[in-house]
Amino acid sequence: MSEASLPFNEKIFPRKLLKEEWERSIKKTEEYWAEKAKAISWFKTWDKVLDDSNPPFYRWFVGGILNICYNALDRHLETPRKHQLAYIWEGEPGDVRTFTYYQIYREVNKLAQILKDFGLKKGDRVAVYLPMIPELPITLLATTRLGGIHTVVFSGFSAEALADRINDCQAKIVITADGSYRRGKIVPLKETADRALANTPTVEKVIVVKRTGQQIPMKEGRDHYYHEVMAKVAPNAYVPPEPMEATEPLFILYTSGTTGKPKGVQHGIGGYLVWAYWTLKWGFSPNEEDIWWCTADIGWITGHTYNVYAPLALGTTSFIFEGTPDYPACDRWWEMIERHGITILYTTPTAIRMFMRFGEEWVNKHDLSTLRLLGSVGEAINPEAWKWYYRVIGKEKLPIIDTWWQTETGGFMISPLAGLELVPLKPGSATNPLPGVYPEVYNEKGEIAPISTRGFLVIKAPWPGMLETLWKDPERYKQTYFGRWPNTYYTGDYAVKDPDGYFWLLGRADEVLKVAGHRIGTVELESELVSHPAVSEAAVMGKEDPVKGEVPVAFVVLRSGYTPSEELRQQLVQHIRSTIGPIATPEAIVIVNKLPKTRSGKIMRRLLKAVLVGAALGDISTLEDEASVEDIKATYEELRKQIEKKQ
């Protein structure tokens, strides 16, 4: 397949000079974004588009007043979209619910009334611990209608992780469900939430959505069933959308970094909304006839931006799904695409690799002719998966929009743009920056790396969707993202720029793993492991995995009195599942006598990595500055022996 020969339909993808847009956005930033921000409904327009007087605390649309829920719902009520579908939802057991913009507006107003009655005020935090059910977006919208700040905790996280997040942001209200469905079984969500709620003094009220229906304990005075409180509110309840400053916080989303506990990425209202709107419009240009399916859980940034705020601001119909791709059978997704007539599929390379394993016969049982665009996110898509996606799902007709971005960036940053100008695609490259994004590849010294040389991806200018700060930790924000090179946003990713100016993302340059597209810090796993009484030291690394991209493997040293056993290893795996959550489950726990250390006492991660992948010693000669060659060789051999014995 030659790159330039992909048959793109000029009518669907009008060519509009991406380059010109990009140059204008960088040279005339304020003028450019003032124009774009007109797509949003403001109660009062801004006084200044970009206040960069106190870098790196950039403030967008300063003085502007708006409400994001108003932009997502109310403004469509005056248009024909009022009675069009906002959401088509399918539950794992096959139950389907649909909501027009008007219907969801009604639900959101009722829930906002309840939150208000429960004492929620502008600036208060609401923690959301829900499966992928319609009440999840409804909760976010009801919260932000009142000017509240939401923090969604992915329902696969543990009680401890939930409690940490609730306590860090001091949430007043928690919304959860009795349970969720996973592969036909009930996941007891309320039980987990209750364990967290035993240690969260700020929580006053808990709203529980009845999803699975089993008996659950409800704490008198604190816990209320969603359907019961909703039934008491007038069906035509109306809660005026709170006028908010563009720079006030919209949500906090915790994400893993290189040190300590997950950090609370804080997004503001105005800049984020403008970014959400334009990135989806440029990336996929959904129109009235589309049914957009972003497969991400709303527990992650991809779900926040592309299952809630961007599609609703654009008036799109979104499909959302509660279940897993292989239940009850490996063609669940294709069957749903066929049945609902889904037109755009935006998913992860891990999902694609999983489907490759299942075999294309599952796909070919279904008519996927409604699809017009495909997208990818979360990790680099390897060319093999890209080609399979293109051939088997896209029938060699549909472009693949490979979007590179991060929790911190709010929306797409580097991506082909089907709604602006589609450049020729190269399998595995996210192609070019969006208007407003100024990426560069730096070497160790902060100089521009030569073309085709691997370096660190940085962003050289502020953009509207960028995080505002880390929740209650501006110093850490400064240090993490702008500490390496002044006024330059450090992404933590490796990248290369090719001779055509295309960007190729090459994975994390730091101690962050991407496991099935989920972001997990090795430090978090290490600190949980050493919190177990049997473990004195731990080092966690990523190991390449054919489906998940990478998986965590832990090297641990035991405290005296403990002996290695399969049972202990299982206990440690269980410990991670219950302290962080199943998504962080280590693939293997390797018990070793000691960890290799540098002269200054730091764990030699590169050596461990080489041991793990069985790389030849020659490949680790760069370690010489960390210890003597003899020591390295001896440790390497010793560790290999231990691994071979124990696996």
Residue 458 or 595: which CB sits closer to ligand WTA? 458
407 touches ligand WTA by CB under 6 A:
yes
Residue 25 interacting with ligand WTA (CB under 6 A): no
548 belongs to the binding site for ligand WTA (CB under 6 A): no
Pick 81 or 514: Cβ nearer ligand WTA: 514
Cα dihedral 419→425→429→435 (10° resolution) = -30
Q: Exposed, middle or buried by CB within 10 Å (0-12, 13-18, 19+), for 34? A: middle
Establish if 153 lies at the interface with ligand WTA (CB under 6 A).
no
Q: Identify which of 600, 591, 595, 523 has the alpha carbon closest to the alpha carbon of residue 563.
A: 591
343 vs 376 by CB, closer to ligand WTA: 376
Pairing of strands 469-470, 125-129: unpaired
Choose which of 168, 493, 510, 511 interacts with ligand WTA (CB under 6 A).
493
Closest separation in Å from C-beta 632 to ligand WTA: 29
**Phi, psi values for residue 220, rounded to 5°:** -50, 130
Using alpha carbons, select from 207, 60, 198, 199 the residue that is nearest to residue 119: 207
First vs last Cα of the chain: how many Å apart? 41
Closest to 596 measured CA to CA, from 625, 631, 563, 569: 631
Identify which of residues 194 and 550 has a Cβ nearer to ligand WTA in the complex. Answer: 550
Does position 192 interact with ligand WTA (CB under 6 A)? The reply is no
Select the span of 73-81, 126-134, 405-413, 632-640 touching ligand WTA (CB under 6 A).
405-413
Query: What is the rounded distance in angstroms from the CA atom of residue 520 to the CA atom of residue 516?
Result: 10
Minimum distance between the CB of residue 379 and ligand WTA, rounded to whole angstroms?
A: 5
**Per rule CB under 6 A, is residue 255 in the interface with ligand WTA?**
yes
Cβ proximity to ligand WTA, 322 vs 493, nearer residue: 493
612 binds ligand WTA (CB under 6 A): no
- Residue type for 225, please? Y
The correct pick among 405, 438, 489, 636 for binding ligand WTA (CB under 6 A) is 405
Gap between the Cα atoms of 532 and 519, Å rounded: 23
| For ligand WTA, the closer CB: 108 or 301 | 301
Site for ligand WTA contains 301 (CB under 6 A):
yes
For residue 589, what are its two tokens? 């726990």
Q: Which of 334, 355, 389, 404 binds ligand WTA (CB under 6 A)?
A: 404
Query: Considering the rule CB under 6 A, would residue 125 count as an interface residue with ligand WTA?
Result: no
DSSP string over 240-292: PPPPEETTSEEEEEEE--SSSSPEEEEEESHHHHHHHHHHHHHHH---TT-EE
Q: How far is the CB of 48 from ligand WTA (least distance, A)?
A: 29
Binding pattern for the stretch 368-387 against ligand WTA, x by CB under 6 A and - elsewhere: --------xxxxx-------
- Beta-strand pair 205-209/223-225: parallel
What is the full DSSP assignment across 46-85? -SEEEE-SSTT--EEEET-EE-HHHHHTGGGGGSGGGGSE
Instruction: Choose which of 21, 160, 402, 511 interacts with ligand WTA (CB under 6 A).
Output: 402
**Residue with Cβ nearer ligand WTA (155 or 403):** 403
Tell me which stretch binds ligand WTA (CB under 6 A): 142-150, 312-320, 473-481, 485-493. 485-493
Q: According to CB under 6 A, which one of 497, 514, 548, 569 is a site residue for ligand WTA?
A: 514
* Distance in angstroms (rounded) separating the CA atoms of residues 78 and 552: 51
Question: For ligand WTA, which residue of 29, 113, 302, 579 counts as binding (CB under 6 A)?
Answer: 302
Q: b/e map of 252-272 (b: 16 or more CB within 10 Å)?
A: bbbbbbeeebbbbbbbbbbbb
- Are 120 and 239 a contacting pair, CB within 8 Å? no
Applying CB under 6 A, the site for ligand WTA has a residue count of 23
Query: Considering only residues 59, 340, 519, 569, which one is a binding residue for ligand WTA as defined by CB under 6 A?
Result: 519
Contacting ligand WTA (CB under 6 A), which of 505, 611, 612, 627?
A: 505
Q: Shortest approach of ligand WTA to residue 595 CB, angstroms?
A: 26
For the bound state, the minimum distance from the C-beta of residue 256 to ligand WTA, rounded and expressed in Å, comes to 8
Of 32 and 412, the one with the shorter C-beta distance to ligand WTA is 412
Amino acid present at 252: I
* Measured CA distances, 524 to 161, 163, 549, 559 (Å): 11, 15, 19, 20
Where does this chain touch ligand WTA (CB under 6 A) — which range of 43-51, 300-308, 320-328, 527-535? 300-308
Given the complex with ligand WTA, which of 465 and 564 has the nearer CB atom? 465
d(CA 264, CA 251) in angstroms, rounded, equals: 9
Cα–Cα dist 431/415, whole Å = 6
Of 37-45, 142-150, 226-234, 401-409: span binding ligand WTA (CB under 6 A): 401-409
Q: Does 406 bind ligand WTA (CB under 6 A)?
A: yes
Select the span of 95-103, 143-151, 296-304, 566-574 touching ligand WTA (CB under 6 A): 296-304
Please tell me the number of Cα atoms within 13 Å of 388 on its side-chain side: 20
Rounded to whole angstroms, the Cα distance separating 384 from 534 reads 42
Residues 6+ apart with CB under 8 A from 22: 432, 433, 434, 435
Q: Which residues bind ligand WTA (CB under 6 A)?
A: 255, 300-302, 376-380, 402-407, 430, 491-493, 505, 508, 514, 519
